[in-house]
Amino acid sequence: MDIPRAPKTNTRRYLYAGGALAGLVLVTVALSQLDRAVPTVEASTLWIDTVARGEMLREVHGPGTLVPEQIRWIAAVTAGRVERKHVEPGEKVSASTVLVELSNPDVELQVLEAQRQLTEAEATLVNLRASLETQRLNQQGVIATVRSEYLDAKRAVEVGDGLAAKQLIAPTDLQRAKDKQEELEARYTIERERLRVHTDAIAAQLDVQRSQIGRLREILAFRRQQVASMRVIAGTDGVLQELPLEVGQWAMSGTTLAKVVEPGRLKAVLNIPETQANVAIGQRASIDTRNGIIRGRVTRIDPAARNGTVTVDIALDGPLPPGARPDLTVDGTIEIERLANALYVGRPAYGQANTTIEVFRLEPDGRAAARTRVQFGRGSVNAIEILDGLEEGDVVILSDLSQYGDTPRLKLR
């Protein structure tokens, strides 16, 4: 007969498991209390600078291009087809150089029509002058006839008065003679007044026709200028920079036909970031053409910002280096101000003016660097003012070390 046994408790196994768990907790706590390993950085790959005190030159920098000071854009006065090109871009031209020739039959027909209208108006003036003069002479003839009749009537009245005194004429006949005299006297006065009015009107009518002729002459002169404008000239001495149209193309009125520049008179147009555009007229500048440095001064500042930049014009004072030409890409630096007795250092890759950031300052032995909080002031292209956090002679790392997060120290090797 089988007898059931009571189960045995494995106490020893539980004790081992509990001890292992306690040991793991103790090791974890101990490891968490250890300091993290200090990262090591290759010193030769770092950008390091020393804090200095003295005069700090504030500058702003921006790219740009060389632009002619004098640019003459030549547009088509009259629409036409390009028949001939006399010069090509890059050639020197004078004010009278013919660049291209255009043709437009409609414009030539307009000249002929204007000439015809002017000729007709001049013929009308001749006919009008003759007609008015004829009318004036006819009126003078009428006046002469009326005057003769008036004088005859006047003499008849005088005779009638003599006969009436002797009672040799009837009173009615005498009165009829006096009425005739008054009628002719009035008619004589009217005809003379008519001659005066006609004579005054002659000058006015001729002036109107002369004015019409003058207007038609101006129209003809304008049409001839349109024809002449189809021979496009440079209008100034310089170098032809652009001539976009080819023979056979049609140019509308107002289309740009050419661009003439004076190559010896160039200026630099810089694009300064709007956050640094505290520039003033007259400030000194230097332009790097990659073939020499040219000194200049600020002459114009665009009042509006475009695409995050402000356009600044620089007048060049010195002679142009070899190879300087319009549209050449350049780099410009403008001197803003000089700070006397300023504490400054090279501008960090991630540091902005008037901000507070953390940089790594080298320890005296130069084998390690500690994170330090620094307050920056005014900035320049390659330097920035220090307001707090560093002293003269401190050596700091300017490279971007943001990948090390909040690491308080770095080792250098």
Residue 122 has pLDDT above 50, yes or no: yes
- Strands 52-68, 266-273: parallel, antiparallel or unpaired by DSSP? antiparallel
pLDDT at 29: 56
Residue 398 near residue 47, CB atoms below 8 Å: yes
pTM for the model: 0.57
Q: What is the mean pLDDT of residues 86-109?
A: 92
DSSP H or E stretch at residue 315: strand 309-316
Cα–Cα dist 385/109, whole Å:
75
Q: What is the mean pLDDT of residues 212-231?
A: 94
pLDDT at 31: 47
Among 24-33, 148-157, 172-181, which stretch is predicted with the lowest mean pLDDT? 24-33
Q: Which two tokens stand for residue 269?
A: 């147009």
List where CATH 2.40.50.100 sits in the chain: 72-104+230-261
CATH number of the 72-104+230-261 domain: 2.40.50.100
What integer best gives the mean pLDDT of the chain?
A: 86
Q: What is the mean pLDDT of residues 39-60?
A: 88
CATH number of the 106-228 domain: 1.20.58
Class (C level, CATH) for 40-67+263-412 = mainly beta
**CA 158 from centroid of its chain's CA atoms:** 93
List where CATH 2.40.30.170 sits in the chain: 40-67+263-412
Q: 45, 46, 56, 44: which is closest to 345 by C-alpha?
A: 56
pLDDT at 282: 92
Residue 35 has pLDDT above 50, yes or no: no
Q: What is the mean pLDDT of residues 321-332?
A: 86
Q: Which two tokens stand for residue 283?
A: 């400030």
**Could you read off the pLDDT of 388-398 as tens digits, one per residue?**
999 999 999 88
Residue 14 has pLDDT above 70, yes or no: no
233: CB partners within 8 A, 6+ apart: 95, 96, 97, 98, 99
406: CB partners within 8 A, 6+ apart: 371
Q: What is the mean pLDDT of residues 45-69?
A: 90
Residue 307 has pLDDT above 70, yes or no: yes
List where CATH 1.20.58 sits in the chain: 106-228
**Could you read off the pLDDT of 245-291 as tens digits, one per residue?**
899 999 998 888 999 988 778 899 999 988 777 889 999 999 998 88
DSSP state of 243: -
